[in-house]
Structure 1
């Protein structure tokens, strides 16, 4: 049973307050209610609330827009966790590869932090559950993870505003439900990704401010079936832009 369907589920919303946690408080001997969702966004927090690690059935956590600098290792043992929002904090260092233990994860939002290094490659293939993967506005480097499993449920990928290099992973063609792809403001060096036209649900492609080059063309006729927005600005594309190239797109 998912956390949304659980009986006697309890949601606690404390967002937009000025809370203070008592340092060193031991919650192991404290009986806590069966929380399924907890919202502590914009609460002036400077550390990850330790009692969260004791909430085994917790399915959704929102600690966005605080000043949290790290996430405790105990969080990576939460097998029921489906949504983790930690956007707009002060997270530093690498994303722990232990995050791939979260087999039920549907939404991961670590956007606008100070995370660095490379992303755990397993996130593209840990399970079929992950739908939204948001890492924009960090200091991530290196190539984009190349592995995406067949049957992936990914609908949204936002890696914009980092320092990613290399090529777009061709394995993205396995993400048949992908609707939104944003890798703008990186250092990706690749040719026009015409192969994205095979994704039947893709609506937004943002490649702005990278090092894409060559002609904007497809080897054969390509039709982006549901495309609404494509941003190719501030790259190194060249050669003629054939009118039929755009006419073939079918938003």
Structure 2
């Protein structure tokens, strides 16, 4: 077959028990737009030198046995929108040439063995919406450059060796070793829907999330060392569905005002220093709350029956059960 004259545009061999060694011949298809080889554990070898292409839009070899270093030639895929290399055996540094993928929207390099720093060329990826770098051995300082990625929706840096933060864009950074408190700019990005920074060593006051109206639906700050009170700015997160502040050192009274968040379904405040009565003069709303965890705090007083009657979403079919036992 003369690959140079092939009109093949779409190749999807995912989850087909594909075996053997990945060769460069597949990248010689001149009109190829989509190449999906993922979920084939027995596909081995290294990623060959990639020939320049202005047609390839999506490349996925996720969850294969491909190993070795990511070649600099990856940056010659000038039209690439999606690159999935998650769950392979890549090692070495992420090449600076990754910054040449200026049309890319989704970049997944998680679950590999990458080392070194996040490339300084990342800010060139202006259209990036999803960046996943979790479960590697990346380290050093998290650069301020993420603030330039205005379209970013999710950024996962969990399970690495980062030790400092210069400037944090809203993102997922769970299970690292950060020790600096978080800048308040975290909660003002209009496109952000999920913020997950669980299981780090963040300290200081809780960030002033949602100082402006945002798209946030999930905020998970569990397992840090946050102190102080729950910021009133959370009331601006009108679409918030999940709020997990558990396992910190927050010292505040029960934040009854959160009951006005009409979409809130999960509220976890466990293992903090909340204190005082849970009942207050404020009306307890929480119309859609389904998970409510206040354990291991210092609350006092009683829980009136009217308090539970407001949790209609917890009852079968959302009906109000007035007989509480």
> What band does the TM-score fall into relative to the shorter chain?
0.7 to 0.9
**Alignment correspondent of 2:109:** 63
Segments of 5+ residues of structure 2 without an aligned counterpart are 1-54, 157-172, 314-325
Aligned residues: 240
Q: CA deviation at 1:27?
A: 4.5
Report the structure number with the largest CA radius of gyration: 2
Alignment of 1:75-154 (within 5 A): 75-92=122-139, 95-109=142-156, 110-125=173-188, 127-154=189-216
SS in 1 for 2:69: coil
Q: Does the 8 A contact of 1:59 with 1:81 survive in 2?
A: yes
Segments of 5+ residues of structure 1 without an aligned counterpart are 1-7
Q: How far apart, in 1, do the equivalents of 2:92 and 2:174 lie?
A: 17
Deviations 1:143-187, CA, capped at 9 Å, x for gaps? 221142432100111111122222222101111111111121111
**Alignment correspondent of 1:53:** 99
Deviations 1:57-78, CA, capped at 9 Å, x for gaps? 1111222233445322322342
**Alignment correspondent of 2:82:** 37
SS in 2 for 1:84: strand
Q: CA deviation at 1:202?
A: 0.8
**Alignment correspondent of 1:186:** 248
Q: CA deviation at 1:216?
A: 1.1
Deviations 1:103-140, CA, capped at 9 Å, x for gaps? 11112332222333122321211x31111111112222
Q: CA deviation at 1:40?
A: 2.2
**Alignment correspondent of 2:27:** none
CA RMSD after TM alignment: 2.4
Q: Does the 8 A contact of 1:88 with 1:113 survive in 2?
A: no
Q: How far apart, in 1, do the equivalents of 2:131 and 2:250 lie?
A: 27
Deviations 1:193-212, CA, capped at 9 Å, x for gaps? 11111111111111111111
Q: How far apart, in 1, do the equivalents of 2:212 and 2:266 lie?
A: 21
Q: How far apart, in 1, do the equivalents of 2:230 and 2:138 lie?
A: 26
Given the superposition, is the C-alpha separation of residues 36 and 139 from structure 1 closer, same or farther in structure 2, using an over 3 Å criterion? same
**Alignment correspondent of 1:246:** 308
**Alignment correspondent of 1:3:** none
Alignment of 1:142-181 (within 5 A): 142-181=204-243
Q: How far apart, in 1, do the equivalents of 2:92 and 2:295 lie?
A: 39
Q: CA deviation at 1:234?
A: 1.1
Q: CA deviation at 1:228?
A: 0.8
**Alignment correspondent of 2:291:** 229
Q: CA deviation at 1:93?
A: 5.6
Q: How far apart, in 1, do the equivalents of 2:147 and 2:154 lie?
A: 13
